[in-house]
């Protein structure tokens, strides 16, 4: 099923379901070319039940093979499904990203047994996953991570600390990068594991962000046992898993905005009221958002180009949210002003500040683009890690 | 570059302000920020030390010194210490001109002793839900009934609104043909109610609230200055308010860059300090150069204000450039902190949150551009 006919059919199927399952007022907004706004505006809409059904229908994981809980659709068909979900601005929880990425890691690097064990429950979101990659001393420089996995008779024992683990406090499983080589081995001494978040020795502590939310966590691991059957890829070959997962993450982050008002919604809000300067700025943002939308639709941003799209998307959304909050004027001083929409815009602005940091900073994106895509001279590397490709 | 606007007297004052803040504010900052409120006892201690309303004549408990450089020293030291409890700018830079220049002797003796001893907190209420940047849209009214005004309306975004004992309220005066008058509304006035404390993006320890007036009876003896001349009074005081924000803005940028440079020295990435990577070194260099430029601009405006030369347009310009630079600097500094910059416990995240409103209050950046552009004849 690869022809354009099947692409149209997959789009139609998803769209039919969306029109039937979303509130009429929501659909009417989309039909009128307007933004439906957040789900909280539809008091009769049961968001949890709707999400459960969406996962049950596997539209997000449509490209996964049916045997692993997907629909076996071609990448083009899956993209058409995702495009329909995006067009109707359906609410996608934060853990969706973690599920898609962990799924990607398992599909690329997992054994058949691991895939059968984990993917079906991932597809229905009945088990939430988190990433255990970054550490307090290893963020942008991920290859310097220090969490250790030591061999023991039963498998492995993991000790260390991770940070920025989104949804770790609700996660059943974690995708872990740990050092199995020497302390100086950098990317050549890292192994990837699946960790049961209910294991003894794991402590999860939420971190408060500048939005006031606590969706990230610190994860402390003290002598956590991990069976060798939970290893993803070869010993000391975890960097390959990390790279493909990070690339997928950046590709995913390039496909949709994280945080804040959509350009159409912003235009609606200021239609008939915007002065000449605001009009110019809105028009510039509109052009940028359209271009990003088309890039996503055409599937641009595979492979190394994922970093370029992630970079563009992050900077475009931060500029968009900054404009949204500027256009609110003095109202934006408070988060709980008279109007819910103002509060949403202010929250979106705060949330979007993470865009140029999370999933790889804009500085790292530019480094990867410069070095790997364009072949420009490399950033100096520490002596121990000189040589092979990183990131 | 050596700053040239201060004398030895100002430097001695700076020392005592710094010592006071380190002793009385810094140890409590986290708690105040968490509780969303500064202890009132802090304010009384600050007043006892002579840091509140010092421009008032000695007869009313002040020092009788009218020299904005002293105000600037306090504003700067609060930022350099990253202390919260930023009532100084409100009291000294914003309220003092109203309470000193527009009051008669009776009003002075009623309010100034309390103000200079820290027992009376004052606020000014201009903004309304439908009148923020546009003062001409103010809808709160006052009509005469015997020796009282009857005030009706709603004010919002009022700094110190909950704690204030005296709120200078901008109203449309029906007696004065609907022109603006300023009425000092005291705590306990019947019909004067306070709303909730607003949940803000930044300045969490600062009390900002809504105020409601429904048939509030305010004695005519509480009117500041002449009836119907309120707009003129507001315009006369706005340059100092805006200069005060510029002073805070450039000091905040200096502080943000200082803590960021420390972070960039200590934190290693790819085997060397964050700041030693060329792209980051250049970012830091740009910020150092831009802050040096803005520092000169702000200092020149402080001196012009001391010499009574600062124009409304010049004040608008310095507020615009300093607050915009502040935000650009804290934003780049947050980025240099990586993931930690987005975490609440790192100072840079508070400096970033607190910076945003500087481009809004005291007149938005857009209004500043209107003032400058219209003055240029466009």
Residue partners of B261: CB distance under 8 A and separation at least 6 = B275, B284
Residue with tokens 């606007």: B5
State the pTM of this model.
0.82
Q: Which residue of A has its CA nearest to B370?
A: A277
Q: Is the pLDDT of residue A390 over 50?
A: no
Report the DSSP pairing between strands B208-219 and B192-197.
antiparallel
Chain A residues in contact with B127 by the CB 8 A cut-off are 330
Check residue B114 and report its DSSP letter. Answer: H
The number of C-alpha atoms within 13 Å of B99 and in the hemisphere containing its C-beta is: 33
Distance CA B26, CA B20 (A): 9
Q: Chain B neighbours among A 308-327 (CB < 8 Å)?
A: 325-326
Interchain contact, B277 vs A134, CB within 8 Å: no
Q: Does A383 touch chain B (CB under 8 A)?
A: yes
Q: Which CATH class is domain A129-238?
A: mainly beta
User: Of the candidates A139, A332, A384, which has its C-beta nearest B338's C-beta?
Assistant: A139
Q: Is the pLDDT of residue A389 over 60?
A: no
Backbone dihedral region for residue A32 (phi beyond 0: left; psi -120 to 50: alpha; all else: beta): alpha
Q: Chain B neighbours among A 211-230 (CB < 8 Å)?
A: 212, 216
How many Å lie between the alpha carbon of B272 and the closest alpha carbon of chain A? Answer: 8
Distance CA A223, CA A75 (A): 41
Q: What is the mean pLDDT of residues A23-49?
A: 86
Chain B residues in contact with A333 by the CB 8 A cut-off are 157, 198, 200-201, 208, 357, 360-361
Interchain contact, B338 vs A350, CB within 8 Å: no
Q: What is the mean pLDDT of residues B243-260?
A: 98
Percent of chain A at pLDDT exceeding 70 = 94
Chain B residues in contact with A357 by the CB 8 A cut-off are 335, 338-339, 341-342
pLDDT tier for residue A7 given thresholds of 50, 70 and 90: confident
Residue partners of B320: CB distance under 8 A and separation at least 6 = B365, B368, B369, B372
Residue partners of B104: CB distance under 8 A and separation at least 6 = none
Cα-Cα end-to-end distance for chain A: 34
Q: Does A381 touch chain B (CB under 8 A)?
A: yes
Q: What is the mean pLDDT of residues A249-261?
A: 80
Percent of chain B at pLDDT exceeding 70 = 99
Segment A48-85, tens digit of pLDDT: 999 999 999 999 999 999 999 999 999 888 888 888 88
Residue A31 pLDDT:
87
Distance CA A162, CA A152 (A): 22
User: Of the candidates A137, A331, A354, which has its C-beta nearest B342's C-beta?
Assistant: A354
Six-digit token string for A287: 């052009």
Interchain contact, B360 vs A330, CB within 8 Å: yes
All domains in chain B, ordered by first residue: 8-120 (1.10.540.10), 123-228 (2.40.110.10), 231-375 (1.20.140.10)
Q: What is the mean pLDDT of residues B57-82?
A: 96
Q: Is the pLDDT of residue A29 over 90?
A: no
Residue A270 CB: number of other CB atoms within 10 A? 17
Domain with CATH 2.40.110.10 in chain A: 129-238
Give bridge partners of residue A226 from the DSSP assignment: A156
Q: What is the largest distance, in Å, between two alpha-carbon atoms of chain B? A: 78
Segment A110-135, tens digit of pLDDT: 999 999 999 999 999 999 999 999 99
Query: Lowest-pLDDT range, A207-211, B292-296, B320-324?
Result: A207-211
Residue with tokens 């934060």: A94
Residue partners of B304: CB distance under 8 A and separation at least 6 = B310, B314
Residue A204 pLDDT:
96
Chain B residues in contact with A385 by the CB 8 A cut-off are 271
Catalytic residue among A15, A249, A252, A328: A249
Interchain contact, A207 vs B201, CB within 8 Å: no
Annotated catalytic residue A249 = yes
How many Å lie between the alpha carbon of A99 and the closest alpha carbon of chain B? Answer: 21
Six-digit token string for B319: 């507020």
pLDDT tier for residue A381 given thresholds of 50, 70 and 90: low
Please indicate whether residue B199 or residue A231 has the higher confidence score (pLDDT). A231
Give the residue among B259, B244, B223, B222 at the shortest CA–CA distance from B80.
B259
Q: Is the pLDDT of residue A387 over 70?
A: no
Average pLDDT, chain A: 88
Helices (H) and strands (E) in chain B, counts: 12, 10
Q: Which of A42-51, A67-76, A151-160, B252-261 has the highest mean pLDDT?
A: B252-261
Residue with tokens 């910059």: B341
C-beta of residue B171 within 8 angstroms of C-beta of residue B323 = no
Please indicate whether residue A286 or residue B133 has the higher confidence score (pLDDT). A286
pLDDT tier for residue A4 given thresholds of 50, 70 and 90: low
Q: Does A379 touch chain B (CB under 8 A)?
A: yes
Six-digit token string for B27: 């140890």
Domain with CATH 1.20.140.10 in chain A: 256-373
Q: What is the mean pLDDT of residues A193-203?
A: 97
Q: Is the pLDDT of residue B309 over 70?
A: yes
User: Of the candidates A353, A363, A380, which has its C-beta nearest B279's C-beta?
Assistant: A363
pLDDT tier for residue B275 given thresholds of 50, 70 and 90: very high
Three-state DSSP state, A169: coil
Residue B349 pLDDT:
95
Residue A391 pLDDT:
45
Distance CA A83, CA A297 (A): 7
Please indicate whether residue B133 or residue B274 has the higher confidence score (pLDDT). B274
CATH superfamily of A256-373: Butyryl-CoA Dehydrogenase, subunit A, domain 3 (1.20.140.10)
Q: Is the pLDDT of residue B354 over 80?
A: yes
Q: Does B200 touch chain A (CB under 8 A)?
A: yes
Q: Is the pLDDT of residue B322 over 50?
A: yes
Distance CA A386, CA A381 (A): 6
Three-state DSSP state, B192: strand
Q: What angle do CA A94, A96, A99 make, to 5 degrees?
A: 130
pLDDT tier for residue A337 given thresholds of 50, 70 and 90: low
User: Of the candidates A329, A337, A382, which has its C-beta nearest B270's C-beta?
Assistant: A382
pLDDT tier for residue A388 given thresholds of 50, 70 and 90: very low
Distance CA A344, CA A353 (A): 15
Q: What is the mean pLDDT of residues B135-147?
A: 93
Interchain contact, B345 vs A208, CB within 8 Å: yes
At residue B308, φ and ψ (nearest 5 deg) are: 55, 35
Per-residue exposure over A98-115, b if at least 16 CB sit within 10 Å of its own CB, e if not:
bbbbbbbbbbebbeeebb
Distance CA A168, CA A148 (A): 19
C-beta of residue A207 within 8 angstroms of C-beta of residue A168 = no
HEC sequence for B124-187:
EECCECCECCCHHHCCCEEEEECCEEEEEEEEEEEECCCCCCEEEEEEEEHHHCCEEEEEEEEC
Average pLDDT, chain B: 94
For the packed helices A340-352 and A305-328, what is the interaxial angle rounded to 10 degrees? Answer: 140
- Give burial (CB, 10 Å; 0-12/13-18/19+) of B72: buried
Distance CA A184, CA B271 (A): 11
């Amino acid at each position: 099923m690869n022809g354009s006919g099947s692409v149209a059919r997959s789009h139609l199927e998803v769209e039919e379901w969306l029109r039937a399952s979303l509130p009429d007022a929501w659909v009417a907004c989309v039909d009128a070319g307007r933004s439906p706004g957040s789900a909280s505006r539809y008091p009769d809409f049961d968001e949890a039940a709707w999400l459960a059904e969406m996962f049950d229908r596997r539209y997000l994981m449509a490209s996964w093979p049916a045997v692993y809980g997907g629909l076996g659709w071609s990448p083009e068909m899956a993209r058409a499904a995702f495009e329909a979900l995006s067009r109707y601005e359906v609410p996608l929880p934060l853990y969706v990203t973690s599920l898609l990425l962990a799924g990607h890691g398992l599909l690329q690097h997992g054994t058949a047994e691991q895939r059968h064990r984990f993917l079906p429950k991932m597809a229905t979101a009945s088990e939430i996953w988190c990433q255990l990659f970054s550490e307090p001393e290893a963020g942008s420089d991920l290859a310097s991570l220090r969490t250790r996995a030591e061999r023991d008779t039963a498998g492995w024992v993991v000790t260390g600390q991770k940070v920025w683990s989104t949804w770790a406090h609700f996660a059943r499983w974690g995708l872990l990068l740990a050092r199995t080589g020497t302390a100086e081995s950098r990317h050549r001494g890292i192994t990837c594991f699946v960790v049961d978040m209910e294991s003894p020795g794991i402590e999860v502590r939420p971190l408060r962000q500048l939005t006031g939310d606590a969706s990230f966590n610190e994860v402390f691991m003290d002598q956590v046992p991990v069976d060798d059957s939970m290893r993803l890829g070869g010993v000391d070959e975890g960097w390959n898993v990390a790279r493909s997962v990070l690339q997928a993450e950046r590709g995913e982050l390039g496909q949709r905005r994280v945080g804040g008002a959509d350009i159409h919604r912003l235009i609606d809000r200021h239609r008939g009221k915007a002065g000449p300067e605001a009009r110019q700025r809105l028009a510039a943002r509109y052009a940028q958002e359209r271009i990003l939308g088309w890039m996503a639709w055409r599937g641009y941003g595979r492979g190394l180009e994922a970093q370029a799209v992630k970079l563009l998307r992050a900077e475009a959304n931060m500029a968009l949210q900054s404009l949204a909050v500027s256009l609110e004027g003095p109202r934006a001083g408070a988060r709980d002003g008279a109007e819910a929409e103002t509060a949403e815009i202010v929250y979106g602005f705060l949330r979007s500040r993470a865009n140029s940091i999370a999933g790889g900073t804009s500085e790292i994106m530019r480094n990867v683009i410069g070095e790997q895509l364009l072949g420009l001279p490399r950033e100096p590397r520490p002596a121990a890690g000189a040589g092979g490709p990183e990131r | 570059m050596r700053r040239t606007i201060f004398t030895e007297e100002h430097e001695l004052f700076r020392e005592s302000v710094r010592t006071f803040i380190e002793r009385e504010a810094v140890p409590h900052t986290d708690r105040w920020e968490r509780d969303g409120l500064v202890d009132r006892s802090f304010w009384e201690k600050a007043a006892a030390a002579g840091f509140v309303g010092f421009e008032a004549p000695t007869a009313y408990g002040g020092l009788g010194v009218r020299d904005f450089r002293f105000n600037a020293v306090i504003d700067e030291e609060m930022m350099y210490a990253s202390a919260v409890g930023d009532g100084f700018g409100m009291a000294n830079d914003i309220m003092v001109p109203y309470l000193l220049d527009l009051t008669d002797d009776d009003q002075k003796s009623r309010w100034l002793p309390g103000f200079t001893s820290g027992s009376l907190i004052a606020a000014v209420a201009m903004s309304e839900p439908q009148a923020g940047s546009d003062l001409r849209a103010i809808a709160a009214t006052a009509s005469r009934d015997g020796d009282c005004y009857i005030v009706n309306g709603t004010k919002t975004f009022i700094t110190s609104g909950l704690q204030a004992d005296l709120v200078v309220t901008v109203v449309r005066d029906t007696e004065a043909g609907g022109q603006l008058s300023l009425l000092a509304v005291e705590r306990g006035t019947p019909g004067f109610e306070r709303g909730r404390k607003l949940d803000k993006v930044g300045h969490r320890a600062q009390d900002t609230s809504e105020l409601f007036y429904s048939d509030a009876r305010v004695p005519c003896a509480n009117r500041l200055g002449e009836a119907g001349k309120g707009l003129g009074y507001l315009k006369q005081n706005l340059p100092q308010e805006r200069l005060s924000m510029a002073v805070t803005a450039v000091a905040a940028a200096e502080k943000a860059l200082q803590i960021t440079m420390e972070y960039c020295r200590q934190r290693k990435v790819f085997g060397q300090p964050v700041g030693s990577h060329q792209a980051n070194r250049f970012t830091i260099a740009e910020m150092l150069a831009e802050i040096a430029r803005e520092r000169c601009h702000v200092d020149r405006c402080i001196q012009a204000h001391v010499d009574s030369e600062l124009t409304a347009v010049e004040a608008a310009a310095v507020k615009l450039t300093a607050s915009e630079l502040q935000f650009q600097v804290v934003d780049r500094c947050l980025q240099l902190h990586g993931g930690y910059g987005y975490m609440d416990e790192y100072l840079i995240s508070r400096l970033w949150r607190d910076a945003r409103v500087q481009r809004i209050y005291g007149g938005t950046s857009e209004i500043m551009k209107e003032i400058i552009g219209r003055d240029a004849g466009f």
